[in-house]
């Protein structure tokens, strides 16, 4: 038997080896291609000149930078009369309310929280607040109860009222507990304002159609008011708790009296009086602390101050005390706040605030671009020394320098007529205090 020659065996072996190498290379190339498709680059290659682990870190850093860019920046504002800025909300603030005892300010925002601020910290470096969470919803409106032991909110998605009880803890803080059931749904249009009477006898809610509802504290509707104003722009309860007023498309402010019997039982709601004098729709109105004065601002480009201390049951109409010009009102919606003593009128349009002396009708201060968004609420504290505004994620507090000037003017006028020495001494003391306050704010006119 003849054996094959050696050269032929070597040729076959080489051919088989080459075929095996080609097959291995093809498999390896396919694996590398799949790796490139999944990772976006050849296997083992450095990304952006960096090793793989460093590349992942750089990706995370870029994602964090992108998040920071998307997060809205806090609006910055400075002014010589700016007393403080409260900045703990992570969402835009829609409403605020001072408690009747002057100790707290409640704010609500679309971050699903209500914050309760201590007013005694306003002029300090740090501003303390207590947080109440609004579960599965957020509040658009908030109001304290008269005894400051509870507050009510209007729920944005639930379209109803929710009551939170405030229970004091041993450390001085509070526990906020919502009542088991919310108020029933009754409004058919968005609610624009809510309020609690200082007597604690009733709650008011007003919607943007023509409906104002009067509730008892248990969530039962006592009366339904049809304002017949095409739509409601604003509605509120007077500080004396006798009246409910509304304004809207018509050029007047309508006022009703909510009547209760001697035993505290609800009787009826009757028409009281109207503020007539504007020539176009009324944007907003406000009461003074004693309910004897009201102010209104209209699309006709004017604001008006009224004497409402009248006997309306004898057909006596309110007296017009002052009319001032505010051109911004003719083109933009406006908000209004009246100081407790009715000496200063604050008007907000867009992101700016204008302060007027109601006795002379003159503009005394203007704060421009106060917030990054349109101003949603405006209010004086119960002392009248501070004006609060909100519109973005902050509440800004201003010293009421026009209020101090009004006191100076009033005391100087009263001193000229005072004949009693003790009266003169008291007036002089109040005059000196107001002048010193203006001097400390750098707002004393020479």
Please give the distance of CA 361 from its chain centroid, rounded to a whole number: 28
CA distances from 233 to 76, 94, 198, 212, 426 (A): 30, 16, 23, 12, 43
Place of tokens 């409402």: 308
Q: How many Cα atoms sit within 13 Å of 170 on the Cβ side? A: 0
* pLDDT < 70 stretches in the chain: 1-72, 445-446
pLDDT of residue 174: 86
By three-state DSSP, how is residue 175 classified?
Answer: strand
Q: Look at residue 13 in the predicted model and tell me its pLDDT.
A: 62
Q: What is the pLDDT of residue 4?
A: 44
What is the assigned CATH class of domain 85-398? mainly beta
**338 token code pair:** 């009246």
| Confidence (pLDDT) at 44 | 45
Residue 257 confidence (pLDDT): 96
Question: Is 30 exposed, middle or buried, given 0-12, 13-18 or 19+ CB atoms closer than 10 A?
Answer: exposed
- The confidence score (pLDDT) of residue 23 equals 63
Query: What is the reported pLDDT for 185?
Result: 96
Residue 212's beta-bridge partner residues?
Answer: 206, 225
CA distance 359 to 344: 8
User: Which pLDDT belongs to residue 10?
Assistant: 58
Using CA of residue 152, residue 376, residue 94, residue 378, what is the dihedral sign? negative
Q: Give the DSSP H/E element, type plus range, for residue 132.
A: strand 129-133
pTM: 0.81
How high is the pLDDT of residue 441?
87
Return d(Cα 237, Cα 97) in angstroms, integer: 14
- pLDDT for 3: 42
pLDDT at 168: 86
The reported pLDDT for the residue numbered 42 is 46
Q: CA-to-CA distance for 91 and 84, rounded, in angstroms?
A: 19
């Amino acid at each position: 038997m003849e054996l094959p020659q050696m050269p032929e065996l070597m040729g076959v072996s080489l051919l088989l080896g080459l075929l095996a190498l080609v097959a291995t290379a093809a498999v390896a190339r396919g694996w590398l291609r799949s790796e490139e498709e999944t990772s976006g680059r050849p296997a083992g290659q450095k990304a952006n000149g960096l090793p793989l682990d460093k590349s992942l870190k750089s990706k995370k850093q870029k994602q964090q930078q992108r998040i920071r860019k998307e997060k809205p920046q806090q609006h910055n504002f400075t002014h010589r009369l700016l007393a403080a800025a409260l900045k703990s909300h992570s969402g835009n603030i829609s409403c605020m309310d001072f408690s009747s005892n002057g100790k707290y300010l409640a704010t609500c925002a679309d971050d699903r929280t209500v914050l309760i601020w201590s007013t005694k910290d306003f002029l300090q470096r740090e501003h303390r607040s207590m947080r109440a969470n609004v579960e599965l919803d957020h509040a658009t409106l908030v109001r304290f109860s008269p005894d400051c032991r509870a507050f009510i909110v209007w729920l944005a998605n639930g379209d109803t009222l929710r009551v939170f009880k405030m229970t004091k803890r041993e450390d001085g803080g509070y526990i906020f507990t919502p009542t088991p059931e919310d108020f029933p749904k009754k409004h058919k249009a968005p609610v624009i304002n809510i309020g609690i009477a200082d007597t604690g006898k009733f709650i008011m809610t007003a919607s943007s159609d023509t409906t104002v509802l009067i509730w008892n504290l248990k969530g039962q509707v006592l009366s339904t008011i049809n304002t017949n104003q095409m739509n409601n722009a604003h509605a509120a309860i007077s500080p004396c708790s006798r009246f409910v007023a509304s304004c809207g498309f018509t050029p007047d402010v309508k006022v009703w009296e909510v009547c209760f019997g001697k035993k505290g039982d609800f009787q009826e709601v009757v028409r009281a009086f109207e503020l007539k004098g504007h020539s176009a729709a009324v944007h907003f109105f406000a009461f003074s602390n004693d309910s004897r004065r009201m102010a209104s601002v209209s699309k006709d480009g004017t604001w008006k101050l009224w004497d409402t201390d009248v006997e309306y049951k004898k057909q006596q109409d309110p007296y017009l005390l002052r009319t001032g010009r505010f051109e911004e009102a003719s083109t933009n919606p406006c908000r209004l706040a009246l100081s407790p003593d009715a000496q200063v009128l604050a008007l907000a349009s867009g992101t700016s605030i204008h302060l007027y002396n109601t006795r002379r009708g003159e503009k005394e201060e203007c704060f421009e671009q106060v917030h990054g968004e349109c101003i949603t609420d405006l209010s004086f504290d119960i002392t009248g020394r501070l004006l609060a505004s909100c519109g973005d994620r902050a509440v800004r507090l201003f010293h009421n320098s026009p209020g101090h000037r009004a006191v100076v003017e009033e005391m100087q006028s009263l001193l000229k007529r005072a004949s009693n020495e003790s009266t003169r001494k008291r007036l002089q003391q109040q005059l000196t205090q107001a002048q010193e306050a203006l001097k400390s704010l750098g707002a004393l006119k020479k």
